[in-house]
Structure 1
Amino acid sequence: MSDVRTRGQVGDGPLSRAAAFVYTLLVVELLLLLTTLPGLVPLVLLGGDASNLPLVAICLVPVGPAVSAALYALRHQRPDPTDLRPAGLFWRAYRANLPGVLRVWVPTLLWLTVIAVNLANLGAATVPAGWAVPLVLVGVGVTLCGANALVVTSLFTFRTRDVARLALYFLVRTPSVPIGNVVLLAAAAALTAVFSEAVVALLAVVLVWAFLRIGDPMIDKIRKEFIG
């Protein structure tokens, strides 16, 4: 009886809930760093030359599965401080989501790499500077669609082509999601420019948590409209 009372007391206080939230963030951050380390180390060492863009894309491949697992762990972690399992949720999602995430993440990186290489070589190709505008717009569209697809495939089980359709559909259906993601990407880019990729890596779980919260309207509509 005393165990039940203690369990309820531990789970009811705002301080214990805040501590549980911080603990979850710290665990997920450590796992994010661990699973992205094979790509982050060479990424930090790479120079800013345009010829390194394909290598940058390769270094970013581990980021997709890691972010996917973090999204799942943060979404499904129970608020009860006596039942904290962020590491178990992370690894379960990492293993289960890996094939599906790579099917949307790798093509997204491939498209963005092609666009970035073309933008970097517009002058050498003697292409009018105005062509940069449609290339940038396509790049933004691919990025936002890829972001939606990453959330969908992390939290739901759909066929890859259905994930792509939902990702495109919710670019229009929930405009707050792509707008929020643009702001989040701009913040991450600013941190990288002012400091370095290492700072972004250290704040990765905060960015992922914000990414999840931004996607809430899309997630809720998918649950109501597409999950029977």
Structure 2
Amino acid sequence: MIDTTAGRRFGEGPLSRASALVYTLLVVELLLLTATLPGLVGLVLLDRDAANVPLAALCLLPAGPALSAALYALHHRRLDLTDLHPAAAFWRGYRANAREVLKLWVPWLVWLAVIGSNLANFVASGVPGWWGVLSVIIALAATLWVANALVITSLFTFRARDAARLAAYFLTRSPRGSLGNAGLLVVAAGITLVATEVASALLASVLASMLLLNSRSMIAEVRDRFTI
């Protein structure tokens, strides 16, 4: 007589779950790099010059839908080692969310490109020092907002304008999550400055999983209060 309980136990232990997580992160990372490859190549080839800020923003255009797909795949990942389909989940999330994500991602990129160009020419422009500090604060707030918007749009079905409002609402509603995301932003910026954009890209799936972890309270509240 065949023991069917062994099959149920296999893939459900701590080691198997850890292996499932590592496998999912690796697959999602590979797909994310594939989806952003044209822009990533452009970023690597661009010189770090003020005149290239708009081009850098253009190179980041494919990253929005790709990050959204990564968030979707990681959120819906399976714990059972015998039932892993991260690639299918990634492309399902990409197809479902790309359009709404771009409605939020593109305005953020444009706004960031404007701020970046102003800061890059800060000395030549002769504007007061406080204006530069204010610009950095605005850029940080906008980036934290788009992080919330990516999570909400990736995991729930909202119109872009509703997702934008919720993302802004949760900036202060979930201060711990915003603070955690600010820390992730500092880490990603530090890696980029010390190494290259490629180094940050190679850790994108890990950073996305940390973003989901920081957003747990926001995700739970959106599910409980704003969905049927």
Give the TM-score normalised by the residue count of structure 1: 0.96
Q: Is the aligned partner of 1:120 residue 2:120?
A: yes
Q: Is the aligned partner of 1:171 residue 2:174?
A: no
2:16 is aligned to: 16
Verify the 8 A CA contact 1:68 1:101 in the aligned structure 2: yes
Let me know the Cα RMSD of the aligned residues: 1.3
2:60 is aligned to: 60
**What letter corresponds to residue 95 of structure 1 in structure 2?**
R
Q: Is the aligned partner of 1:212 residue 2:197?
A: no
Pairing of 1:39-188 with structure 2 (within 5 A): 39-188=39-188
- C-alpha distance in structure 2 between counterparts of 1:56 and 1:3, whole Å: 58
- C-alpha distance in structure 1 between counterparts of 2:115 and 2:12, whole Å: 51
- Three-state SS of the structure 2 residue aligned to 1:11 is coil
**What letter corresponds to residue 176 of structure 1 in structure 2?**
R
- C-alpha distance in structure 2 between counterparts of 1:49 and 1:56, whole Å: 10
Q: CA deviation at 1:17?
A: 1.3
Verify the 8 A CA contact 2:12 2:79 in the aligned structure 1: no
Q: Which moved more, 1:200-209 or 1:66-75?
A: 200-209
Give the TM-score normalised by the residue count of structure 2: 0.96
- C-alpha distance in structure 1 between counterparts of 2:8 and 2:33, whole Å: 34
- Three-state SS of the structure 2 residue aligned to 1:140 is helix
**What letter corresponds to residue 76 of structure 1 in structure 2?**
H
1:31 is aligned to: 31
Q: CA deviation at 1:190?
A: 1.0
- C-alpha distance in structure 1 between counterparts of 2:131 and 2:14, whole Å: 54
Verify the 8 A CA contact 1:122 1:128 in the aligned structure 2: no
- C-alpha distance in structure 1 between counterparts of 2:2 and 2:24, whole Å: 27
Runs (5+) with no aligned partner, structure 2: none
2:198 is aligned to: 198
Could you list the per-position Cα deviations for residues 62-104 of structure 1 after superposition, in whole angstroms to 9, with x for gaps in the alignment?
Answer: 1111110000000011212121010000001101111001001
How many residue pairs are counted as aligned between the two chains?
228
Q: CA deviation at 1:123?
A: 2.4
- The 3 A distance-change label for structure 1 pair 94 and 4 is farther
- Three-state SS of the structure 2 residue aligned to 1:124 is helix
- Three-state SS of the structure 2 residue aligned to 1:123 is helix
Verify the 8 A CA contact 1:53 1:116 in the aligned structure 2: yes
Verify the 8 A CA contact 2:149 2:167 in the aligned structure 1: yes
1:189 is aligned to: 189
**What letter corresponds to residue 188 of structure 1 in structure 2?**
A
Q: CA deviation at 1:212?
A: 1.0
Could you list the per-position Cα deviations for residues 102-126 of structure 1 after superposition, in whole angstroms to 9, with x for gaps in the alignment?
Answer: 0011111111111111112222222
- The 3 A distance-change label for structure 1 pair 45 and 14 is same
